[in-house]
Amino acid sequence: MTGEEPITTTKDADHLAKSTSGGKVRRALGLSFLNTVFGKIGTLLTGILLARVLVPEDFGVFAVALVALGALLAINELGVSLALVRWPGDPREIAPTVTTISIASSGLLYALCWFAAPAFSEALGAPDATGVVRLLCLSVLIDGATAAAAQFTNREFRQGARLAVDMSNLVLTTGVTVALALADHGAWSLAWGRLVGNALSAILLFRLVALWPKPGFDRRQARELMTFGLPLAGASLLVFAMLNVHFVITGSLLGAVALGLYLQAFNLSSWPVNMFSVVIRRVSLAAFARVQDSPAEREALLARFTTLLMAGALPVCALLGLLALPTVTTLYGHNWAGSAAALQFLVVLAIVRVVTELAYDYLVALNLPSRTMWLQAGWLVVLVALLPLGAMWDGIRGVSAMHALIAVFLVLPAYTLAVTRTGVRLRVLLAAVARPALGCALLAAVVLVVRWLTEPSVLQLLLGAGLGGAVYLAVVWPLRNLVKHLG
């Protein structure tokens, strides 16, 4: 153990056990999954339309703004809002202090962004992105104001409210973005759409959870919150850097067009992460916290979550990777065919991300945030050293291939070791992924036969996904009732 002092006591686990039943976890998972499915389908349809209206350079400019926003969001509110999920007693007691810290930090970060935007955009090979960066990063102010309300919904498993907020955001963002894109506003349409959707959905969130931002400050609470939050903010910043350093390297070494192609590939590869990992993470931290004092229960819960994640993410990643070219050209058109070279490797990274994000929540629930920080730091150092070599070797395909190799041979073993050191048995984890892995192997065999018999086309995509998916489903069908055993 690291000797870190927890912000909570065993009373926290008792409180969560009383207030949270297995049925509540299952309902939250169901609503979270529904939310994610609707959201990603809408995002996919919007992306397909925008890819046929905008050009790769527009997406490259927007990618620069996304990197800037991601950096700010990673350290915004200094990680203190997560304490609302674990706080013993009523989280509204600390909400004013959390809100004050969040709003103050977001204001300072945006001021820094405003002045740094020109140099940042120039460094990433897209000097025209300065205005888009400044506009999109206004979202960090919204994030600071909503930090307490958003975490309150996670603590109370209020995924119904989250569903209403996210769907409203999707509709507004899509409407504004498409309208501006059709009016030939390029990358600005993406930034304005995101900003308007975030602003109006924030108001809806405040209304639904009845937790409007009311700043206040308690010095004792602030010390506890900062002690808990700063390691998490550091780890989040490292996570951001790890997931975005490839954009920086691609943009600076290969230019805005290559960055646009790479961004599209990364967005597609992130579908399994967004569809499955995000769903689980909205309830996993609170669920792990509920059983943190019972090694047997937390091991069993981790195994169930792992099986559930792998059962959904593995086949999607396999299909995206094996059918990368027909997927890209069918969805986005032949102008984006270059994205397929990166997509086939980035799906490997996506699988590792799904696993490590679950491990991250597990370690945080056990109050071991410094372990996650060291893991992310090591990951980042290796990426900074090796990804430029991949870019110089084979462009965006080289970057993605190097990313996948590092994830599989360094990051995955490191996270596995960190989790097993808490008492989780390796054989339990291997057993948790056995059936999904077997189904995925059979799926891959079927798809490879389809690829051998057909040319890259819509037909190949439909045959590969249909036949491979049917074989996979036959293998994993016995896992269909797994969610019932999460409580």
Query: How is residue 460 written in tokens?
Result: 């190949």
Q: What is the pLDDT of residue 2?
A: 35
Q: What is the pLDDT of residue 485?
A: 53
Instruction: Please give the distance of CA 446 from its chain centroid, rounded to a whole number.
Output: 30
Which has more confidence, 11 or 432?
A: 432
Across residues 259-288, what is the average pLDDT? 84
Across residues 163-170, what is the average pLDDT? 79
Give the model's confidence band at 164: pLDDT under 50 very low, under 70 low, under 90 confident, else very high.
Answer: confident
Q: What is the pLDDT of residue 265?
A: 93
Neighbours of 299 (CB within 10 A): 19
Q: For residues 171 and 177, give the distance between their C-alpha atoms in angstroms, rounded to a whole number.
A: 10
DSSP, collapsed to helix, strand or coil, labels residue 162 as helix
Across residues 109-114, what is the average pLDDT? 92
Q: What is the pLDDT of residue 17?
A: 40
Across residues 252-272, what is the average pLDDT? 89
Max CA pair span of the chain: 68
DSSP H or E run through 446: helix 426-453
pLDDT of 104 higher than 50: yes
Lowest mean pLDDT among 187-191, 213-217, 405-409: 213-217
Give the model's confidence band at 22: pLDDT under 50 very low, under 70 low, under 90 confident, else very high.
Answer: low
Of 231, 243, 272, 459, give the one whose Cα is nearest residue 364: 231
Across residues 182-186, what is the average pLDDT? 88
Phi, psi of 53 (to 5 degrees): -105, -40
Q: Are 343 and 320 in contact (CB under 8 A)?
A: yes
The angle subtended at Cα 263 by Cα 257 and Cα 267, nearest 5°, is: 155
Give the model's confidence band at 3: pLDDT under 50 very low, under 70 low, under 90 confident, else very high.
Answer: very low
Average pLDDT along the chain: 83
Q: Are 163 and 29 in contact (CB under 8 A)?
A: no
Q: How many residues belong to the chain? A: 487
Task: Give residue 174's identity as a one-letter amino acid code.
Answer: T
Lowest mean pLDDT among 275-289, 308-322, 424-438: 275-289
* pTM for the structure as a whole: 0.74
pLDDT of 70 higher than 70: yes
Lowest mean pLDDT among 200-209, 335-344, 476-485: 476-485
Q: For residues 60 and 262, give the distance between their C-alpha atoms in angstroms, rounded to a whole number.
A: 9
Q: What is the pLDDT of residue 10?
A: 36
- Summarised one tens digit per residue, pLDDT across range 410-423 is 999 999 999 999 99
- Summarised one tens digit per residue, pLDDT across range 440-476 is 999 999 999 999 999 999 999 999 999 999 999 999 9
Lowest mean pLDDT among 74-78, 107-111, 449-453: 74-78
pLDDT of 316 higher than 90: yes
Which has more confidence, 231 or 119?
A: 119
Query: How is residue 66 written in tokens?
Result: 């996304």
Q: What is the pLDDT of residue 39?
A: 67
Neighbours of 485 (CB within 10 A): 12
Give the model's confidence band at 77: pLDDT under 50 very low, under 70 low, under 90 confident, else very high.
Answer: low
Q: What is the pLDDT of residue 18?
A: 41
Phi, psi of 447 (to 5 degrees): -65, -40
pLDDT cut 70: percent of the chain above it: 82
Q: What is the pLDDT of residue 68?
A: 87
Phi, psi of 338 (to 5 degrees): -60, -20
Q: 22-26 contacts: CB < 8 A, separation 24 or more?
A: 22/486, 22/487, 23/487, 24/157, 24/487, 25/157, 25/283, 25/287, 25/486, 25/487, 26/483, 26/484, 26/486, 26/487
Q: Are 4 and 368 in contact (CB under 8 A)?
A: yes
Q: What is the pLDDT of residue 59?
A: 84
Across residues 151-173, what is the average pLDDT? 74
SS3 content of the chain, % helix, strand, coil (to 5): 85, 0, 15
Q: For residues 208 and 201, give the distance between their C-alpha atoms in angstroms, rounded to a whole number.
A: 10
pLDDT cut 90: percent of the chain above it: 38
pLDDT of 402 higher than 90: yes
- Summarised one tens digit per residue, pLDDT across range 32-49 is 666 666 666 777 777 777
Q: For residues 281 and 291, give the distance between their C-alpha atoms in angstroms, rounded to a whole number.
A: 16
Lowest mean pLDDT among 24-33, 120-129, 249-258: 24-33
Q: What is the pLDDT of residue 37?
A: 67
CB burial class (10 A; 0-12, 13-18, 19+) of residue 462? middle
- Summarised one tens digit per residue, pLDDT across range 240-260 is 777 788 988 998 899 888 988
Token match 């018999």: residue? 453
Across residues 147-153, what is the average pLDDT? 74
- Summarised one tens digit per residue, pLDDT across range 353-385 is 999 999 988 998 888 867 877 888 888 899 999
Query: How is residue 33 written in tokens?
Result: 């999954």
Across residues 388-412, what is the average pLDDT? 95
pLDDT of 29 higher than 70: no
Across residues 86-112, what is the average pLDDT? 79
